[in-house]
Amino acid sequence: MIPLPRVAPGVAFSPIPIRRGMRVFVLTGAGISAESGIRTFRDAGGLWEQHRIEDVATPEGFLRNPPLVWRFYSERRQQAGLVSPNPAHHAIARLGDFLGEDLFVCTQNVDPLHERAGARGVLHMHGELLRTRCSGCDRPSFADDRAYLDKSPQCECGALLRPDVVWFGEIPKGMDEIGAAVASCDLFVTVGSSGAVYPAAGLACAQVPQCAHRPVRADDLCRARAPRERPLLRRVPPGEGWRAVARPLQAGGLSGSCGSPPACACRAAANLAGPGCPAV
């Protein structure tokens, strides 16, 4: 969990400026998808209350009952076709237009909402719902939005196909790339992540190890400043906080002044934009 010595509404804190050439790492979690109507796994009434993790989200569960697993993910595929990106997705995509390759977007989500909003090069560390791969051979994963509600599909090699998602007990995708991007970023932003699922939950904490005072709620923002030594940290709520900052892109950088607090000083914040500046 990312620590915060102070929790307050975002409007109580000054914005952080973002300018071209600034390296920004954005980590998104289930909360950003929930704003679009996708049910999350851990909230009350979420998916885990109706399914045992061991049955639908482990390699062993797939081996025991492939049709059940495919039905579970096929229903998720059908749901994904009914929802649309929300202002948070669009704001991140516009930030990508502004920063180009200096923006690294990593998501814990398997849905395609970032891409539908126009984001490019998103790294899905837990895989992608609308992709399928073989459970037995090295065939590359492929785009697949079909629903397999009754029968499990097979690969040409004879083995069962499986959703290209990362299950419990499996290694997340792109960890080397993620680690390098976190180590070199100037600003680390989390959007809609509970900070409870590792290894994603440890990314920001690894950058500010001395800030170990109290946990952060999903609707808080965390900020720490030590230029080129440790990145700025900011926690962003996917709902109202993003609606306030999703403004049309304009020339220049994000307004406001960071100041120079100590390296382990953390401050909540919600407004990433200002007049005449691009919104995130």
Task: Say which range, 4-13, 135-144, 215-224, has the weakest mean pLDDT.
Answer: 215-224
What is the spatial distance between Cα 76 and Cα 56, in angstroms, rounded to a whole number? Answer: 12
The single residue of 90, 124, 126, 213 carrying the catalytic annotation is 126
For residue range 143-186, list pLDDT tens digits in order.
999 999 989 999 999 999 999 999 999 999 999 999 899 989 88
For residue range 54-73, list pLDDT tens digits in order.
999 999 999 999 999 999 99
Decide: pTM greater than 0.85: no
> Higher pLDDT residue, 251 or 29?
29
Do the Cβ atoms of 132 and 142 come closer than 8 Å?
A: yes
Domains and CATH numbers, the chain: 10-36+85-125+174-245 (3.40.50.1220), 47-82+130-165 (3.30.1600.10)
Q: What is the mean pLDDT of the chain?
A: 73
> What is the DSSP annotation of the chain?
----S----GGGSPPPP--TT--EEEEE-HHHHHTTTPPPSSSTT-GGGTS-HHHHSSHHHHHH-HHHHHHHHHHHHHHHTT----HHHHHHHHHHHHHGGGEEEEES--SSHHHHTT--S-EETTEEEEEEEESSS-PPPEE-----SSS--B-TTSSBEEEEEPPTTSPPTTHHHHHHHHHH-SEEEEES--S-STTGGGHHHHH-TT--SS---TT------BTTTB-EEEEE-SSHHHHHH-----SS---S------TT----------TTS---
Annotated active-site residue 126? The verdict is yes
For residue range 253-269, list pLDDT tens digits in order.
332 222 222 222 222 22
Of the ranges 204-208, 243-247, 272-276, the best mean pLDDT one: 204-208
- Per the listing, tokens 């069962």 go with 160
> Higher pLDDT residue, 48 or 91?
91
Q: Work out the pLDDT band at 225, boundaries 50, 70, 90.
A: very low
Count of beta carbons in the 10 Å neighbourhood of residue 98:
23
What is the reported pLDDT for 195? Answer: 64
